[in-house]
Structure 1
Amino acid sequence: MLMNLGGDESRRIKALQALLAPDESRDEVLRKFVQLASQALGIPGSFISVLDDEHQFVRASRNFDLKESSRDDSLCRHVVDSDIPVVVPDTLHDPRFSTHPLIIGEPFIRFYAGVPLKNRERIVLGTLCVTDTRPHTFSTEQLATLKLLGELVMSFLEAWHAASFTDVVTGLPNRQRLIRDLQFLAAAGDTTLRRLVLIDCIDMPRAYELARSMGMLPVENLLKDMATLLPLRLRPGVDDRIYTVATGRFAILTGAKSRLSASYVATVLQGISADLEEGISVELTAYTGETAFMPGSFSAQEILRQGVSALHEAIGQGVSAMSFNESFDASRTEDFLLMNDLAVALEKNEGLYLVYQPKVCLQTGVPLGLEALIRWKHPTRGELSPAMFIPLASQTNLVSALTEWVINSVIAQQKAWRSTTIRLPVSVNVSEMDFAREGYADYLEDKMIKAGLPTALLGIECMETESILESPAALKGLEMLKQRGFALSLDDFGIGYSNISYLRRMPLDVIKLDKSLISELSSDTASRIIARSIIKMLKDLDYTVLAEGVENAEIVSTLRQYGCDQAQGFFYSKPLPVEELQSWLSWKLRDRLYG
């Protein structure tokens, strides 16, 4: 804002407002500059002033008590208006000042020397001056020193503003400036109902993928183009302000009655594209979120948080615009707190435990394996359904930590079972993120070797089929696991992305039929036809087929007729804690143990 002001009076005014706004860290540096000016030039008084159309404001001073005056009474206006240094060795001998109120009265200025503070475009924004209550001569060398100090002051102010309040890439005011503007509205006692609109229109992961092949410059061009497009499309009013609040995200601060609502902005931005470089553009999808507020009713940070919450709700629901909703926000806050509690539970190994659901041979009824399922007894909420925390964890890096905890717990349990008759493989769910990790198969194999266990005792179940197929690293990771002897299962087949053609791309051993395919076998002819066809096809492809959610004997009989291999569900057993599982297995395996 202290640069690129030429020909734009509104931006010059905003630049002056930025300099006039209080900022203790900035003013502390300015005070050091005026101290240096006094010491270097041997003149006791010095100050830095900013002038608007009506007033002079002193931003920093030394041995000079005046803080503000009218522009007409300001000696500095002669510097600003003439755009050249002004030196007055004795004001009483200068007809311009001999009867001036600041000369014949406080602060009794007898000597004055001032230089203009100009930005790079030669726009004068203020002055650096030295003064005394007695006359002085002022040499050419002293004036050159004062000019140099003035240039340093202006360079500092431009750097301060660029670093603090301007986004380097887009040139728009940044998040810190938005926060400060919100604080100023509150401090000024503004009672106008306001609106903050957040805009997300750039898929930054995609942009950074482009940067990998094209470099960062095209991505920066994309951001700059958006910063140009927004005011052209939205046509903000004089009191509307556009900010860059994060890479690829923008904000509009406006009045509550303004046409620039979240829905209006999303509509106007529909179908826009921005340029990466000449001849290459990308289509953008805009999401917006808004919050209405009275300045001072919430902190600036809270107002921004509410806008971001509304924006994320819009993105999460796949709608173009959302207003801040306290109930949605409370739910998201609860989700965040729950994930924070989960991180603590994983770190301290408290409250989490495993249950095991048996996998049974449909022909013999003998247990062939187990699936490990995580449970959480929350310290204040009690027992939580996995549906309450696993989907949330899957959206964060906690999912890998959760998987790691499950695998370590399963390995520890398998080691404990070595002194018993239990020799059943236990399967765990692993995410695409882990499959794609470099050396993950080696890592798991090393864990099993150190525990003295064959890899065949640890089964790997995967979902997220579409994500895996889109990730060469994940497919390679699955192949490596297969080569090391881990049995691989595909979970929940029959829902979501269940294109048959992908099966041959994944090195799978077991296909688990989702319970939605199984639950209607007793009552629905179409379900029976579909299930029979799928099972036959999978058997022809040489997979082991396991049915989930088996709950009655009739379904068991039907699945046997169709050639299904294995089943798990409440008909055989619910998921059991270790102690109950061991009793159940002792009963189910009694013929093998004692026959």
Structure 2
Amino acid sequence: MLINLRGNATQRQNATDALKMPDENRDDVLKQFVWLASESLGIPGGFISVIDDSHQFIRAAHNIALCQTTREDAFCRYVVDSGEVMVVTDTLLDPRFTTHPLVVGPPRIRFYAGAPLKNREGVILGTLCVTDRVPHRFPRKKIRMLETLARLAMTFLETWHSAGFTDVATGLPNRQRLIRHLRLLSTAEQRAPLRLTLIDCIDMPRAYELARALGMAPVEALLRDIGGLLRERLELAPEDILYTVATGRYAILASAEGRFSAQNVVDKLRYVSARPEDGVAMDLSIHAGEVCFDPTELPAQEALRRAVSALHEAINLHVGARSFNELSDARRNGDFRLMNDLAAALQTGTGGLYLVYQPKVSLPSGRPVGLEALIRWRHPEHGELSPAGFLPVAQFTNLMNSLTDWVVGETIRQLKIWSDTPCLLPVSVNVSVSDLSRSDFTDTLEARMAQAGLSTSLLGIECLETEKATENPAALANMEGLRQQGFRISLDDFGAGYSNIGYLRQMPIDVIKLDRALVSGLTIDPGSRIIAASVIRMLKDLNYVVVAEGVEDRETLMVLEAYGCDQVQGFYFSRPLPPAELEKWLQQQPQSADPDILPLTGNNLTLSDDAHDPGLYN
């Protein structure tokens, strides 16, 4: 607010700077004050001015062409210096103004009356004035009215500044105030590199739970306490401004050579807890991001964006501090634009998304027994994108459910096309735990299959993120519901990372897919062979169908066959194919059930770049 200025030169200068800067909404209201003063006092011209050590700035004017003067030429400096109303009934009769440039030249002021704009502490920040080109009498009644209008104008300015530049919860200068400060510095003659450091202090989900349980009062007390705690622990001087730029997020703007680097801030705030009186204590989770820049070269909003980018990188990497990095920032910006393109592609259906299908071959019969639907994206600008290039990013957005819905829809559409042909085989699709957690997922899937006139046995569900699924009751319930409706449930990537045998009995699944990382080492690593043999034997004893993916050569195939694996898929047989190519491939497969023919049915393709495609949808 425009208070706490007495005895604080820095705060006063910041307040003056804020008033000097143009603000369309504020200045429109100030113009109404000037018009009201002119009309009620019967004086045709007027203005509101702000004065600093060197200049007078006209923030609102009525019937007077004046924008800025030197302080020496300002009538209003006498009002500011004295703190009292000044009335000059005829400037040509006042020795101070007989040769004044604004009297003998435009706008040729002959009458002037000005009242100081005082805040509640008595600090004067400007004036409200009325002027004319002819002399006037100005009785005591009009002086009192001018003083009243000046007080009202100052009350408005305090309210404007409080609402627009002060964070309600903490009472600290807010993000708008920081932006305004940066813009002022961008016009400064002295070029001095600055460092903007953002500090993230609170685990916001926990804070929201606190607000939900106890209301906002304890949270606001916590935020106020953190502000004081930061000033104390960082040893901020009175002239050092601490900003609140978001809930639980603070900023310090200082010299680039100063001590407020992101790392120093984190070091000083380690193991800090906020414990407001009559509130709830909370251990602070401190992350900091910084950007060093020249304010005359980098716009204010861009400086803040870069600091936010650095802070989010620290949070995402689970490290304390990070400086802005252009390469990392460009990559994240590219990911963001890519997700916008993906959202548009899902919405319009014309963005280059399509499905390919990889066959699953039965080892006992040697014949194709199913397909896996895999998503691809032919981006309008970037060309063919590997799923690994966009799916990992999509996981951190709200697009995954929409992406799954699109894949399911396209799969059902293709199954409908194949329904009266020899190409009809069950097709499995990959789904995440967030998909399985949707309350309507089972009913919607069943309804879509019924509407297409297809048996639910034609659509398989491959569950990703197994560990998360076991901890999610809604996902487990949906899996059981899908299984009861006739959908076949597969567990994907078994044998990779976290693979707890115990969770198999918790999950309603029919098929276990061995991870390609386990399969790829069968011909070269004795340990992989021992593990694979034991795992396959155990899974068969538990009555699961075992599928091995990533089979790329005859030797691997023969090992899997010897271990009793049920089905295989991989480049030895076929890469993932679009529907037309898949139909041709299926027509070329032998009808014999003799497993001895099996190795001859593989395409023995030269592996392309996507042979080892990672990602949720391979």
What corresponds to 2:350 in structure 1? 349
Q: Give the distance between the partners of 2:520 and 2:361, measured in 1 at CA.
A: 17
What corresponds to 1:313 in structure 2? 313
Q: CA deviation at 1:363?
A: 2.6
What corresponds to 1:362 in structure 2? 363
What corresponds to 2:556 in structure 1? 555
**Range moving further from structure 2, 382-391 or 342-351:** 342-351
What corresponds to 1:304 in structure 2? 304
Q: Give the distance between the partners of 1:218 and 1:484, measured in 2 at CA.
A: 49
Q: Give the distance between the partners of 2:139 and 2:503, measured in 1 at CA.
A: 86
Amino acid of the structure 2 residue aligned with 1:43: I
Q: Percent identity?
A: 53
**Range moving further from structure 2, 506-515 or 583-592:** 583-592
Judge conservation of contact 2:222–2:279 (CA < 8 Å) in 1: no
Q: Give the distance between the partners of 1:290 and 1:494, measured in 2 at CA.
A: 41
Query: Across the two proteins, how many residue pairs are aligned to each other?
Result: 585
Q: Give the distance between the partners of 1:473 and 1:418, measured in 2 at CA.
A: 32
Q: Give the distance between the partners of 1:33 and 1:489, measured in 2 at CA.
A: 73
Q: Cα deviations across residues 3-37 of structure 1 (Å, max 9, x unaligned)?
A: 45466453233222211233343223212211111
Runs of 4+ displaced beyond 6 Å: 102-105
Judge conservation of contact 2:71–2:77 (CA < 8 Å) in 1: no
**Range moving further from structure 2, 403-412 or 204-213:** 204-213
Q: Does the C-alpha gap of structure 1 residues 117 and 28 become closer, same or farther in structure 2, counting only changes over 3 Å?
A: same
Is structure 2 residue 517 aligned with structure 1 residue 521?
no
Judge conservation of contact 1:71–1:77 (CA < 8 Å) in 2: no
Judge conservation of contact 2:431–2:463 (CA < 8 Å) in 1: yes
What corresponds to 1:101 in structure 2? 97
Is structure 2 residue 458 aligned with structure 1 residue 457?
yes
Q: CA deviation at 1:426?
A: 0.9
Q: Give the distance between the partners of 1:265 and 1:446, measured in 2 at CA.
A: 56
Judge conservation of contact 1:115–1:146 (CA < 8 Å) in 2: no
Judge conservation of contact 2:513–2:546 (CA < 8 Å) in 1: yes
What corresponds to 1:112 in structure 2? 113
Judge conservation of contact 2:80–2:124 (CA < 8 Å) in 1: no
What corresponds to 1:196 in structure 2? 196
How do 1:322-401 residues align onto structure 2 when only pairs under 5 Å count?
322-346=322-346, 347-401=348-402
Q: CA deviation at 1:479?
A: 3.5
Q: Cα deviations across residues 139-172 of structure 1 (Å, max 9, x unaligned)?
A: 54x5564454334322322332234333333333
Q: Does the C-alpha gap of structure 1 residues 181 and 113 become closer, same or farther in structure 2, counting only changes over 3 Å?
A: closer
Q: CA deviation at 1:394?
A: 1.7
Judge conservation of contact 2:164–2:176 (CA < 8 Å) in 1: yes
Q: CA deviation at 1:89?
A: 8.3
What corresponds to 1:169 in structure 2? 169
What corresponds to 1:492 in structure 2? 493
How do 1:461-472 residues align onto structure 2 when only pairs under 5 Å count?
461-472=462-473
Q: Give the distance between the partners of 2:159 and 2:534, measured in 1 at CA.
A: 71
Q: CA deviation at 1:578?
A: 1.4
**Range moving further from structure 2, 13-22 or 34-43:** 13-22
Q: Give the distance between the partners of 1:207 and 1:29, measured in 2 at CA.
A: 38
Q: Give the distance between the partners of 2:76 and 2:385, measured in 1 at CA.
A: 73
Q: CA deviation at 1:568?
A: 1.9
Q: Give the distance between the partners of 1:339 and 1:271, measured in 2 at CA.
A: 37
Q: Give the distance between the partners of 1:111 and 1:351, measured in 2 at CA.
A: 71
Q: Cα deviations across residues 235-294 of structure 1 (Å, max 9, x unaligned)?
A: 345665433333333332222211111221222222223347735222233222222222
What corresponds to 2:36 in structure 1? 36
How do 1:401-550 residues align onto structure 2 when only pairs under 5 Å count?
401-550=402-551
Q: Report the TM-score, using the length of structure 2 for normalisation.
A: 0.84
Q: Give the distance between the partners of 1:521 and 1:279, measured in 2 at CA.
A: 60
Does the residue aligned with 1:101 lie in a helix, a strand or coil? Answer: coil
Q: Give the distance between the partners of 1:153 and 1:45, measured in 2 at CA.
A: 17
Q: CA deviation at 1:440?
A: 1.9
Q: Give the distance between the partners of 2:6 and 2:479, measured in 1 at CA.
A: 61
Q: Give the distance between the partners of 1:185 and 1:87, measured in 2 at CA.
A: 34
Is structure 2 residue 279 aligned with structure 1 residue 283?
no
**Range moving further from structure 2, 55-64 or 42-51:** 55-64
Q: CA deviation at 1:487?
A: 2.0
What corresponds to 1:20 in structure 2? 20
Does the residue aligned with 1:497 lie in a helix, a strand or coil? Answer: coil
Q: Give the distance between the partners of 1:293 and 1:409, measured in 2 at CA.
A: 49
What corresponds to 1:215 in structure 2? 215
Judge conservation of contact 1:546–1:566 (CA < 8 Å) in 2: yes
Does the residue aligned with 2:390 lie in a helix, a strand or coil? Answer: helix
Q: Give the distance between the partners of 1:579 and 1:537, measured in 2 at CA.
A: 39
Judge conservation of contact 2:289–2:322 (CA < 8 Å) in 1: yes
Judge conservation of contact 1:51–1:77 (CA < 8 Å) in 2: no
Does the residue aligned with 1:134 lie in a helix, a strand or coil? Answer: coil
Q: Give the distance between the partners of 1:350 and 1:577, measured in 2 at CA.
A: 17
Does the residue aligned with 2:281 lie in a helix, a strand or coil? Answer: strand
How do 1:63-212 residues align onto structure 2 when only pairs under 5 Å count?
63=63, 67-68=68-69, 70=71, 86=85, 88=87, 99-101=95-97, 106-107=102-103, 110=111, 112=113, 114=115, 116-119=117-120, 123-131=123-131, 133-138=134-139, 140=141, 142=142, 145-212=145-212
Q: Does the C-alpha gap of structure 1 residues 55 and 357 become closer, same or farther in structure 2, counting only changes over 3 Å?
A: closer
Amino acid of the structure 2 residue aligned with 1:372: A
**Structure 2 residue runs without a partner (length 5+):** 104-108, 594-618
Q: Give the distance between the partners of 1:5 and 1:477, measured in 2 at CA.
A: 62
Does the residue aligned with 1:296 lie in a helix, a strand or coil? Answer: coil
What corresponds to 1:590 in structure 2? 591
Amino acid of the structure 2 residue aligned with 1:304: L
Q: Cα deviations across residues 98-131 of structure 1 (Å, max 9, x unaligned)?
A: 5433798844565636254324x56543343445
Q: Does the C-alpha gap of structure 1 residues 252 and 116 become closer, same or farther in structure 2, counting only changes over 3 Å?
A: closer
Amino acid of the structure 2 residue aligned with 1:232: E
Judge conservation of contact 1:189–1:295 (CA < 8 Å) in 2: no
Judge conservation of contact 1:103–1:109 (CA < 8 Å) in 2: no
Judge conservation of contact 2:46–2:62 (CA < 8 Å) in 1: yes
Q: Give the distance between the partners of 2:65 and 2:587, measured in 1 at CA.
A: 92
How do 1:240-251 residues align onto structure 2 when only pairs under 5 Å count?
240-251=240-251
Q: Cα deviations across residues 197-240 of structure 1 (Å, max 9, x unaligned)?
A: 23333232343344333333333333333333222222345665
How do 1:264-275 residues align onto structure 2 when only pairs under 5 Å count?
264-275=264-275
Q: CA deviation at 1:68?
A: 4.3
Q: Cα deviations across residues 35-54 of structure 1 (Å, max 9, x unaligned)?
A: 11111232334332335567
Q: Give the distance between the partners of 1:215 and 1:413, measured in 2 at CA.
A: 52
Q: Cα deviations across residues 454-499 of structure 1 (Å, max 9, x unaligned)?
A: 2221112222234434544434433433343322222112223323
Amino acid of the structure 1 residue aligned with 2:97: P
Does the residue aligned with 1:408 lie in a helix, a strand or coil? Answer: helix
Q: CA deviation at 1:452?
A: 0.9
Q: Does the C-alpha gap of structure 1 residues 427 and 104 become closer, same or farther in structure 2, counting only changes over 3 Å?
A: closer
Q: Give the distance between the partners of 1:276 and 1:311, measured in 2 at CA.
A: 26
Cα root mean square deviation, aligned? 3.3
Judge conservation of contact 1:91–1:112 (CA < 8 Å) in 2: no
Q: Report the TM-score, using the length of structure 1 for normalisation.
A: 0.87
Q: Give the distance between the partners of 2:458 and 2:432, measured in 1 at CA.
A: 19
Q: Give the distance between the partners of 1:369 and 1:3, measured in 2 at CA.
A: 74
Higher relative contact order (CA 8 A, sep 6+): 2
Amino acid of the structure 2 residue aligned with 1:233: R
Q: Does the C-alpha gap of structure 1 residues 405 and 313 become closer, same or farther in structure 2, counting only changes over 3 Å?
A: same
